[in-house]
Structure 1
């Protein structure tokens, strides 16, 4: 699977590189009113790809963080349920012992 990922990334990078070599004309981009940037199309495309890749990485980190938080919450809930089960099992043993001692006692005289 790593070889396939490497091949896809390599081909995509090669395509971007060839595209950049062919598109060196200056273009103007207006980011906000009154602020214009003039640069080769290839530079602007590479910057845009970099920003997009960074945003995609940040989003994936955010999603992983959310999953870890949810899994920790599930783990804590599971641990608390396990503790409650142990407590209930101890209560059952204690009640059984009390019941056995009550059954072995002689009947009370009136």
Structure 2
């Protein structure tokens, strides 16, 4: 899957770079009042792609962090559930032992009556 992702990203990046190279006319970007930047369109397109890639990476990292946080909560809930189930198993084992101790006595009395 990584190879497919790499190929897709490479093809898109290559197409954008080739498109940018064909557009070399100087353009002006108005960043803020009084701040203007003039550079070739291809440089601005490549910078825009880079900034977009950085934003996508930051979003991806943020999504992974959220996933790890929710995974930690799920693990805590599962650990609590495991502890509850282990306590239930111990309680059932004690009840089973008590019942098994009671059953032979009941069978002996039943045999004596018969």
What is the rounded CA distance, in whole Å, between the counterparts of 1:6 and 1:100 in structure 2? 65
Q: CA RMSD in A?
A: 2.3
Which residue does the alignment assign to 2:82? 82
Cα gap change, 1:34 to 1:89, in 2 (>3 Å)? same
The answer as to 2:58 corresponding to 1:51 is no
Tell me the TM-score normalized by structure 1.
0.76
| C-alpha deviation, 1:2, in angstroms | 4.7
Gaps of 5+ in 2: 106-114
Which residue does the alignment assign to 1:18? 18
**Which of the two has greater helix per residue?**
2
What is the rounded CA distance, in whole Å, between the counterparts of 2:72 and 2:97 in structure 1? 38
| C-alpha deviation, 1:76, in angstroms | 1.5
| C-alpha deviation, 1:77, in angstroms | 0.6
